[in-house]
Amino acid sequence: MSRRTLVVIGHGMAGHRLCEALLERDTETAWDVVVLAEEPRPAYDRVALSSVFTGRTADDLTLVSEGFLDHPRLALRLDDPVVAIDRTTRMVTTAAGFTIGYHALVLATGSVPFVPPVPGRDATGVHVYRTIEDLDAIRASAAGARTGVVVGGGLLGLEAANALRSLGLATHVVEFAPRLMPMQVDEAGGQMLRAHVEALGIGVHTATVTERITAGDDGRVRRILFARHPDGLTGLDVDVVVFSAGIRPRDALARESGLAVGERGGVVVDTACRTADPAIYAIGECALAAGRVHGLVAPGYAMAEVVADRLLGGCATFTGGDTSTKLKLLGVDVASFGDAFATTPGALPITFADPTKKTYKKVVLSDDARRVLGGVLVGDASSYAALRALAGSAQALPDDPAQLILPAAGGPTGGVALPDDAQICSCRNVTRGQVTAAIDAGSLTDLSEVKTCTGAGTGCGSCIPLLKSILTEKLAAAGVAVSNALCEHFDHSRAELFEIVRARGITTFSQLVSEHGRGRGCEVCRPVAASILASIYNRHILDGEQAALQDTNDHVLANLQKDGTYSVVPRLPGGEVTPDTLILIGEVAKEFGLYTKITGGQRIDMFGARLEQLPRIWARLVAGGLESGHAYGKALRTVKSCVGETWCRYGVGDSTTLAVELELRYRGLRAPHKIKMGVSGCARECAEARSKDVGIIATENGWNLYLGGNGGYRPRHAELFAGDLDTPTLVRHIDRFLMFYVRTADRLQRTAPWIESLDGGLEHLRRVIVDDALGICADLDEAMARHVHTYTDEWKATLADPDKLRHFVSFVNLPDAGDPDIVRVLERGQPRPARAGERAVLVAGPRLAVSPAGHSPGGQA
């Protein structure tokens, strides 16, 4: 088969999905694909655009998997838009003069923001909200600004309002319709959504007509004026205006090429997504398909799948995409699906509203109340995935359909079993049957495996809770035990054991395992129990029976290194260190022959201490005022900081003082995993706070708090939890966050996956520790206060206790002897462990050699 050339104009979400789908299926290598893109970067997740303001980067949003652009039959040309299509010769030309012929052409040019013809819309400080570059421009305008207005109260309008609010601006939303999100939610849902938005301090102006924008002598926007406002308001003083009043399909190339377009725009295509020219297709937001322009991701992906199939000789059709939506707008869950407005003849709506919790739910049923047609969810969208799946199937409903939306309705589907043809993931058009088949075929046991094999859950992510439910159901049906048990000795999870120990007043592992477990424990449950006991009672980790529960590091209060020696890491709160302390550390390192290094956590680590040397080293350090840095424990490690406003000319907050206070407050707190924090004195983020479990960034009005970041194997950026906090409120939030994490996380679970595992994620966490939805905040506060007041330095207490010091001998019969197997090499003036080849030479002779940087030992010392 001779290879042909496919040219794709546009590398947005739909264009990229087409490339993926085609190259995945084109096993006979029928097509070479050339993508011509206007934007300067490859396809990214435009749905998650607002997350750029909460710490995510353009790289975080990319949709391009590693190595995809290296595909031998794919070429991507960025930052060079197509300016002409010659349908006669089948050639396209770009702005830079690049030309290429095609056998087939796909228009995936997307859309542009609609800006109403409002006088003054060209003033400085007026923006649209569409690309990463738009967000960069909004951020620049917001610097030093006080008030922002978003014109448009739909999906993107509320996203834009959240962005302005996160930048510290007093924010208003102006909407022409009588309610917010008029295309997605009904009147009652709009009222509930408005209550949520106004509770955040955002001004909402519905049924309002924008008349014009006025600017000052410098050309910058100063005021927005209204031609109509329900309260008679004539205008608002404003520094930044963002238009988010809808989109218009980018169909100029089609018009200029003589292709048919709709009366209100959009390239006219048939059910194959093909234009009147059989060689040209259109997909995504530029296409007028099934009688409408679809401004959502799922229909664009569905069109991409159809075109990929057609290019390979298939007969797939597009007859209308899934227009359901689920978003978290300003921290509020909002979803709609199917016939949300009950327009089907005979449709029966059932509604449930709880003003105290600001939740509204509506499910629309068929006239016989046997099928779901659609629905609206505001404030609690936990049942969205299941309800949307039911709306696409003929599955019969229970005798009391209200179970589908009432609280405690019996599971994610209200007790209704989903059929195999129920669509689980609308972004990738994956059904329940496909998910279960993949689980069976691949013997899948992990959610990440299901996502990889099916593609479900890799788009907007709203179907992930339902995927988890299906996986659990399949494993249980296959006889695979679905258990949250910690190990074979306990039938409880770590969180359950924590509550058992706390509620029953259990103080030893022996008591715990005899009353609530079996056997003698193992390397899994024993350290977990030790951590729980230390967290609750804040006793010394080596007290009594607890000493025998610890792993290697906690057992000797030091980190074991590759050559059998240990590291010594004193705490340096906030990275501050006095000259006297530096001298002391240097003297100790010199006396004991230790390798020293300043780490990324703003600590000075000393490596190479033998076990029996640890007490003598720490005696020197403790006498000099230093204490354990807990580098060996699942506990708070460090609170990294910049110098803040004390020294930096850009600083707006005293980051060092706050970092010191936080590190001293939380030192010694035992947790399911290590905890790291960072405090930056301004938005320049020199402390890299958003890569930490707890990140804090100073603003002109206080502190922004970010939660759930981490480095490591799967780096995560922390997400904005609350903004412009005063210090007492900030500390209270962190107290509760840490204590809730300590109580409920699984064994060795970092804060990032823990937050993801919560039903509702960060919003659930906000309800728990800010709104006190579970009524436990007073208990969390008390627990943290008890930790702070009972803290003692572990090494200081160890040095004062002869029983504890018995742990620190290398050989029982020779307590002061060193390990004869330790062999060192000098490199760059410091000792390091000898490598395998070096040991072979040195083991029979002197145990220390000198090695110039990058060379083998050049001589013996």
Which residues make up each annotated binding site for siroheme?
A: 686
Can you tell me which residue has the tokens 């780490």? Answer: 599
CA distance 154 to 322: 18
CA distance 244 to 111: 13
CA distance 835 to 850: 13
Q: Is 37 helix (H, G, I), strand (E, B) or coil?
A: coil
CA distance 335 to 714: 30
Contact 116, 231 (CB under 8 A): no
Contact 214, 225 (CB under 8 A): yes
Stretch (H or E) spanning 213 = strand 209-215
Binding site members: 642, 648, 682, 686
Could you give the angle at the alpha carbon of 767 between the alpha carbons of 743 and 726, nearest 5°? 95
Query: Contacts from 18-24 at CB under 8 Å and sequence distance 24+?
Result: 18/106, 18/108, 18/283, 18/304, 18/307, 18/308, 19/74, 20/68, 21/304, 21/305, 21/308, 22/308, 22/311, 22/312, 23/71, 23/73, 23/74
For 303, counting Cβ atoms within 10 Å of its Cβ (0-12 exposed, 13-18 middle, 19+ buried), the class is buried
Helix 447-454, helix 464-477: angle, nearest 10: 110
DSSP string, 455-524: -TTSSS-TTHHHHHHHHHHHHHHTT------SBTTBSS-HHHHHHHHHHHT--SHHHHHHHHB-SS--TT
CA distance 16 to 458: 14
Check the CA dihedral 19-24-30-32 and report its sign.
positive
- CA distances to 362, 416, 422, 468 from 390, in Å: 14, 9, 6, 17
Other CB atoms within a 10 A radius of the CB of residue 686 amount to 18
CA distance 715 to 639: 18
**341 alpha carbon, distance to own chain's centre:** 33
Q: Is 4 helix (H, G, I), strand (E, B) or coil?
A: strand
CA distance 694 to 686: 15
Closest of 231, 357, 784 to residue 536, by C-alpha: 784
For 289, counting Cβ atoms within 10 Å of its Cβ (0-12 exposed, 13-18 middle, 19+ buried), the class is buried
CA distance 734 to 737: 5
Binding site members for [4Fe-4S] cluster: 642, 648, 682, 686
Tell me which DSSP letter residue 561 carries: -
Listed in sequence order, the residues at least 6 apart from 275 whose beta carbon sits closer than 8 Å to its beta carbon are: 107, 254, 259, 260, 267, 268, 269, 281, 282
DSSP β-ladder status, 636-641 and 348-354 = unpaired
CA distance 297 to 284: 8
Strand partners, 725: 703
